[in-house]
């Protein structure tokens, strides 16, 4: 069995509510990812994907906190680390590619300065050596005229180049784990394809967690997929299982809502209703109000069922009369 680079077990991220209760933005999430593997975390906006990503770096915004669970990186628990300890992990052991490089990159720092700082924070090198490593990082992510780009400010670069700089920052110290939060959002189709190809080629040996709401991106890049709904993982398994033969009604609803160009369907099929809000108390399966197959059993929390290697948290999974999915 391949040893996991990252293991998350029973993770719960909690926020206080105005009525004195507690809202779990991430609720009992468990997964692992190994070196050379890409795990996709998919789901609609508000499902807890980004909060999950931030928790891996100890960046859950106040007043939220990791209230339960364990996060282990290369066998060491990091969920209980203090800020000083976490600072040594960020950038060295975990690289983060944020969703919007325009707001994530310091606008008053040159690209070279940002990269050199990232190098010198975790390596005993001179400024000249850090400059050389920064130049190499830009070259490795395919940025043209890298010497010139080192002197540029983020606003002087195109969206695609800014995203490549963000990737270079994440990779410059060669961390074993990369977390990419919606790395192709707001990019045109051509640039998106280039960024996805870059992630595939440059991260062949690292573990990659890809946060996305785009199922096409997940299908193209990921080895395994976990589907999140209202803070919980409802289904997880291989890309071929989840994105082509879903067993959970929410997973199937996401796929049915994806636009297609084969003209075999007369219209899109949206998921009716809205997910529960943070102030709504949920008992049992949170998908009950939107699920056509909901029954009284669904008022109880569904346990994961192992269905030929895939795990699905549903009392009434999508199976035929022989118990087969698809």
Q: Reply yes or no on whether the pLDDT at 261 is more than 80.
A: no
Q: Assess contact for 177 and 138: CB atoms under 8 A.
A: no
Pick the range with the lowest mean pLDDT from 5-9, 222-226, 250-254, 316-320. 316-320
* pLDDT confidence of residue 322: 61
pLDDT band at 304 (very low <50, low <70, confident <90, very high): very high
- What is the per-residue pLDDT for 321? 61
pLDDT level of residue 196 (50, 70, 90 thresholds): confident
What's the confidence (pLDDT) of residue 263? Answer: 60
Determine the average pLDDT of the residues in 57-68: 95
CB 5 within 8 A of CB 33: yes
- Residues 223/239, Cβ–Cβ less than 8 Å: yes
pLDDT given for residue 184 in this prediction: 85
What is d(CA 182, CA 186) in angstroms, rounded to the nearest whole number?
Answer: 9
Q: How confident is the model at residue 272 (pLDDT cuts 50, 70, 90)?
A: confident
Query: How many residues are there in the chain?
Result: 326
Mean pLDDT of 31-51: 95
| DSSP-derived secondary structure letter, 25 | E
Confidence of residue 264 (pLDDT cuts 50, 70, 90): low
Distance CA 8, CA 32 (A): 6
**Which of 201-205, 223-227, 241-245 is modeled with the greatest confidence?**
223-227
- In this prediction, residue 192 carries a pLDDT of 86
pLDDT of residue 195: 85
What's the pTM? 0.92
What's the farthest any 2 CA atoms get from each other in the chain?
A: 67
- Indicate the pLDDT class of residue 194, thresholds 50, 70 and 90: confident
**pLDDT band at residue 137 using 50, 70 and 90 as cut-offs:** very high
**pLDDT band, residue 265 (cuts 50/70/90):** low
Angle among Cα 154, 155, 159 to the nearest 5 degrees reads 80
Rounded (5°) CA angle 200-33-115: 55
What is the overall mean pLDDT for the chain?
A: 91
Is 1's pLDDT higher than 60?
Answer: no
Mapping DSSP to helix (H, G, I), strand (E, B) and coil, where does residue 311 land?
strand
Q: Assess whether pLDDT exceeds 70 at residue 310.
A: yes
The answer to which of 1-5, 125-129, 247-251 has the lowest mean pLDDT is: 1-5
Pull the structure tokens for residue 20.
Answer: 């004195």
The CATH architecture annotation of domain 36-65+83-93+177-189+203-313 reads 3-Layer(aba) Sandwich (3.40)
Whether residue 58 contacts residue 83, with contact meaning beta carbons closer than 8 Å, is answered with: yes
Domain residue spans of the chain: 36-65+83-93+177-189+203-313, 102-174
Dist CA 63 CA 40 (whole Å): 27
Q: Between β-strands 207-212 and 38-42, what pairing exists: parallel, antiparallel or unpaired?
A: parallel
Q: Which residues on neighbouring strands pair with residue 16, listed in sequence order?
A: 22
Which of the residue ranges 68-72, 96-100, 184-188 would you say has the lowest mean pLDDT? Answer: 184-188
Angle at 226 between CA 223 and CA 231, to 5 degrees: 155
Read off the pLDDT band of 259 (50, 70, 90): confident
pLDDT at 204: 76
Does 27 have pLDDT greater than 80?
A: yes
Which positions ≥6 away from 102 have C-beta within 8 Å?
A: 154, 155, 159, 162
Range of lowest pLDDT (56-60, 111-115, 158-162, 259-263): 259-263
Which runs of E-coded beta strand occur in the chain? 4-16, 22-34, 38-42, 65-73, 76-77, 94-97, 177-181, 207-212, 224-229, 232-238, 304-307, 310-313
Q: Are 98 and 181 in contact (CB under 8 A)?
A: yes
């Amino acid at each position: 069995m391949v040893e996991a680079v990252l293991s998350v077990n029973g993770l719960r991220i909690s926020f206080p509510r105005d009525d004195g209760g507690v809202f779990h933005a991430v609720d009992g999430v468990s997964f692992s990812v190994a070196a050379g593997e890409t795990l996709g975390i998919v789901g609609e906006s508000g499902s807890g994907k980004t909060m999950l990503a931030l928790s891996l770096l100890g960046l859950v915004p106040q007043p939220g906190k990791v209230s339960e669970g364990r996060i282990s990186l290369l066998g060491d628990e990091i969920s209980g680390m203090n800020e000083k300890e976490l600072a040594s992990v960020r950038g060295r052991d975990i690289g983060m590619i944020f969703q919007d490089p325009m707001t994530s990159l310091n606008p008053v720092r040159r690209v070279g300065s940002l990269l050199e700082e990232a190098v010198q924070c975790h390596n005993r090198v001179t400024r000249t050596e850090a400059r050389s490593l920064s130049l190499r990082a830009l070259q490795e992510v395919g940025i043209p005229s890298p010497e010139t780009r080192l002197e540029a400010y983020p606003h002087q670069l195109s969206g695609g180049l800014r995203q490549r700089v963000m990737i270079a920052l994440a990779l410059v110290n060669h961390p074993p784990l990369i977390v990419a939060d919606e790395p192709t959002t707001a990019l045109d189709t051509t640039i998106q394809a280039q960024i996805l190809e870059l992630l595939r080629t440059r991260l062949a040996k690292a573990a990659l967690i890809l946060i996305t709401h785009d199922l096409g991106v997940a299908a193209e890049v990921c080895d395994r997929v976990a589907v999140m709904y209202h803070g919980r993982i409802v289904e997880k398994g291989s890309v071929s299982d989840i994105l082509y033969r879903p067993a959970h009604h929410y997973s199937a609803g996401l796929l049915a809502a994806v636009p297609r160009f084969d003209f075999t369907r007369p219209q899109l099929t949206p998921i009716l209703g809205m997910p529960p809000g943070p102030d709504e108390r949920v008992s049992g399966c949170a998908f009950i109000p939107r699920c056509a197959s909901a029954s009284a059993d669904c008022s109880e929390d569904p346990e994961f069922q192992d269905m030929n290697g895939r795990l699905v948290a549903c009392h009434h999974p999508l199976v035929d009369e022989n118990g087969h999915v698809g």
